[in-house]
């Protein structure tokens, strides 16, 4: 063994027990009491969690002349400091661009830069013959998930393309992740508000109400059912979409849903903050009124919601968000969150009794690994799995602030919130990348992760 994690309480999605963990060549080789024979890493008084997985992040995303402010280096440092050891970002081709070319460009941005391991979702923006061929060949190279959008003109696909792409995904065994909002409805509502001179962030959620999300989710789930393809609904935000998803699940359809900490913890009165600060919370689908939060937490606990990702997509408030100062539709959509997900879910979820310790690990690590073809290499603590480990001090209090977080952006949506429980030491494949809360890793330590198709996965 190269090192031994000593004296901690190991927690997986299904078990909690006291044990030491032996690591050799980046792999977990022993889980047992009182291991000796290698340098110890002290975990006394701490939980030892599997490295957490954030399966929805956007580093260096170009939108409308701006680029999101975390790249694969700064963004994965923030991930590591927050206990996340695997991220999944996106390959987003421009219309008409080869998906292989877009993939090569994305890999060039990440390789040699990432400090934790990473994978990439494909995005299909049409169902042209070349696109279908490229998705198939990239799937064979380990890109086994496919992002689809029902809104945003640069990337959206119509129902005919959706059906073709979902059928292809089924045949290839790659998992669709779908952003579901009704594009025409959003455009109609935005145009009406702007014509009435209603330009403030207040109108952002009103232009994308819950039914706009639920309608598109229902339609996409129906189409997926027609071609017998499993799918994941991205960033579900409201009771209405939850009812659609649970209805399909109860009918036996393989439908999964993702939720973000923003939608579990923040609500739409933030859009009315003075001095344009509401723009900090302009993300899509938007924050809802607080009555949606308790149903989302309960759904997460009982399994109707499968996992928690962040949709991390930071834009500076001082400059980039100001682009929409006089027109809310021009505010770059998105917010930071990659570093605060795990502490917030533990503190607000586990500590407040809204989420069991096992569901916390399951929704933030194990289920994303299973659904996206990384299990059991990632997402659990087991002999043979990568030694991605988070030594987590359940008593450490931290007051969140953009000034001390590592996210490369000038605000934090949870500024001033105090969390109790924080990652202390974080290992990626046996290498310490965070020690006593300080980043000690290196650019390029993070590896690209080819993934399995879902045909070969256990219990999907």
Least separation in angstroms between residue 58's CB and Zn ion is 6
Total residues interacting with Zn ion, rule: CB under 5 A: 1
Cβ neighbors of 339 (< 8 A, separation 6 or more) are 78, 79, 81, 82, 84, 405, 406, 407
Instruction: Please report which helix (H) or strand (E) contains residue 67, including its range.
Output: strand 66-67
Query: Among 368, 373, 446, which residue's Cα sits nearest to residue 144?
Result: 373
Peptide bond into 130 cis (omega under 30): no
User: Toward Zn ion, which CB reaches closer, 74 or 123?
Assistant: 123
Least separation in angstroms between residue 341's CB and Zn ion is 14
Quick one: which segment of 5-13, 115-123, 259-267, 303-311 binds Zn ion (CB under 5 A)?
303-311
Contact status: 89 vs Zn ion (CB under 5 A) = no
Contact status: 213 vs Zn ion (CB under 5 A) = no
Residue number of the CB atom closest to Zn ion:
311
User: Toward Zn ion, which CB reaches closer, 117 or 311?
Assistant: 311
What are the angstrom distances between the C-alpha of 410 and each of 51, 174, 318, 339? 27, 37, 7, 14
Quick one: which segment of 149-157, 190-198, 305-313, 367-375 binds Zn ion (CB under 5 A)?
305-313
Least separation in angstroms between residue 284's CB and Zn ion is 9
Q: Contact, 188 vs 151, CB < 8 A?
A: no
Quick one: which segment of 115-123, 193-201, 222-230, 304-312 binds Zn ion (CB under 5 A)?
304-312
User: Toward Zn ion, which CB reaches closer, 262 or 366?
Assistant: 262
User: Toward Zn ion, which CB reaches closer, 103 or 310?
Assistant: 310
DSSP codes, 172-190: HT-EEEEE---HHHHHHHH
Contact status: 388 vs Zn ion (CB under 5 A) = no
Query: Among 6, 13, 9, 28, which residue's Cα sits nearest to residue 357?
Result: 13
User: Toward Zn ion, which CB reaches closer, 70 or 311?
Assistant: 311
Least separation in angstroms between residue 240's CB and Zn ion is 20
- For the record, the structure tokens of 310 come out as 């962040």
How far apart (Å, rounded) are the C-alpha atoms in residues 368 and 259? 12
Least separation in angstroms between residue 311's CB and Zn ion is 4
Least separation in angstroms between residue 140's CB and Zn ion is 25
Q: Contact, 449 vs 318, CB < 8 A?
A: no
User: Toward Zn ion, which CB reaches closer, 77 or 177?
Assistant: 177
Least separation in angstroms between residue 90's CB and Zn ion is 7
Quick one: which segment of 153-161, 255-263, 306-314, 436-444 binds Zn ion (CB under 5 A)?
306-314
Least separation in angstroms between residue 334's CB and Zn ion is 7
Quick one: which segment of 93-101, 156-164, 277-285, 311-319 binds Zn ion (CB under 5 A)?
311-319
User: Toward Zn ion, which CB reaches closer, 53 or 428?
Assistant: 53
The 10 Å Cβ neighbour count of residue 367 is 25
User: Toward Zn ion, which CB reaches closer, 12 or 69?
Assistant: 69
How far apart (Å, rounded) are the C-alpha atoms in residues 22 and 3? 6
How far apart (Å, rounded) are the C-alpha atoms in residues 262 and 335? 9
Instruction: Spell out a b/e string for 20-45, using b for 16 or more CB atoms within 10 Å of the CB, else e.
Output: bbbbeeebbbbbeeebeebeebebee
Quick one: which segment of 149-157, 262-270, 308-316, 421-429 binds Zn ion (CB under 5 A)?
308-316
Least separation in angstroms between residue 91's CB and Zn ion is 13
User: Toward Zn ion, which CB reaches closer, 311 or 393?
Assistant: 311
Least separation in angstroms between residue 42's CB and Zn ion is 38
Quick one: which segment of 106-114, 309-317, 347-355, 389-397 binds Zn ion (CB under 5 A)?
309-317
CA atoms lying within 13 Å on the CB side of residue 187: 7
Instruction: Please report which helix (H) or strand (E) contains residue 232, including its range.
Output: strand 231-233
How far apart (Å, rounded) are the C-alpha atoms in residues 312 and 260? 9
Cβ neighbors of 177 (< 8 A, separation 6 or more) are 56, 121, 145, 146, 147, 148, 231, 232, 234, 258
User: Toward Zn ion, which CB reaches closer, 215 or 311?
Assistant: 311
Q: Contact, 393 vs 422, CB < 8 A?
A: yes
Contact status: 311 vs Zn ion (CB under 5 A) = yes
Q: Which residues bind Zn ion (CB under 5 A)?
A: 311
């Amino acid at each position: 063994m190269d090192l031994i994690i000593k004296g901690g309480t190991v927690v997986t999605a299904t078990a909690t027990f006291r044990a030491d963990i032996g690591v050799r060549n980046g792999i977990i080789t022993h889980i047992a009491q009182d291991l000796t024979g290698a340098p110890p890493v002290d975990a006394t008084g701490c939980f030892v969690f599997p490295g957490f997985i954030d399966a929805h992040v956007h580093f260096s995303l170009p939108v409308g002349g701006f680029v999101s402010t975390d790249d694969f280096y700064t963004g994965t440092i923030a991930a590591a400091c927050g206990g996340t050891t695997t991220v999944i970002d996106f390959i987003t081709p421009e219309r008409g661009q080869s998906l292989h070319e877009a993939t090569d460009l994305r890999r060039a941005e990440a390789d040699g830069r990432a400090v934790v391991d990473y994978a990439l979702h494909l995005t299909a923006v049409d169902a042209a013959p070349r696109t279908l061929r490229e998705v198939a060949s990239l799937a064979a190279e380990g890109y086994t998930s496919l992002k689809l959008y029902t809104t945003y003109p640069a990337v959206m696909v119509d129902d005919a393309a959706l059906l073709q792409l979902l059928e292809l995904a089924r045949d290839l065994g790659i998992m669709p992740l779908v952003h579901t909002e009704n594009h025409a409805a959003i455009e109609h509502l935005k145009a009406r508000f702007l014509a009435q001179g209603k330009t403030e962030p207040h109108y952002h959620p009103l232009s994308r109400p819950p039914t706009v999300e639920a309608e598109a989710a229902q339609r996409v789930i129906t189409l997926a059912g027609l071609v017998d393809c499993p799918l994941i609904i991205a960033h579900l935000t409201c009771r209405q979409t939850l009812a659609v998803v649970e209805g399909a699940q109860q009918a036996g359809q393989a439908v999964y849903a993702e939720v973000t900490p923003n939608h579990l913890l923040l609500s739409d009165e933030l859009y009315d903050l003075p001095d344009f600060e509401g723009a900090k919370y302009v993300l899509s689908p938007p924050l809802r009124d607080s009555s949606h939060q308790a149903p989302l937490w309960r759904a997460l606990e009982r399994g109707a919601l499968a996992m928690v990702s962040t949709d991390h997509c930071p834009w500076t408030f001082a400059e980039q968000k100001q682009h929409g100062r006089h027109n809310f539709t021009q505010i770059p959509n998105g917010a930071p969150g990659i570093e605060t997900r795990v502490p917030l879910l533990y503190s607000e979820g586990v500590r407040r009794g809204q989420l069991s310790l096992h569901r916390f690990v399951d929704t933030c690590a194990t289920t994303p690994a299973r659904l996206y073809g990384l299990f059991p290499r990632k997402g659990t603590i087991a002999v043979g799995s990568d030694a991605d480990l988070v030594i987590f001090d359940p008593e450490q209090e931290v007051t969140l602030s953009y000034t001390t977080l590592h996210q490369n952006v000038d605000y934090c949506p949870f500024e001033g919130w105090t969390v109790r429980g924080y990652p202390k030491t974080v290992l990626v494949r046996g290498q310490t990348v965070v020690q006593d809360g300080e980043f000690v890793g290196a650019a390029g330590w993070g590896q690209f992760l080819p993934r399995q198709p879902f045909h070969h996965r256990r219990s999907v």
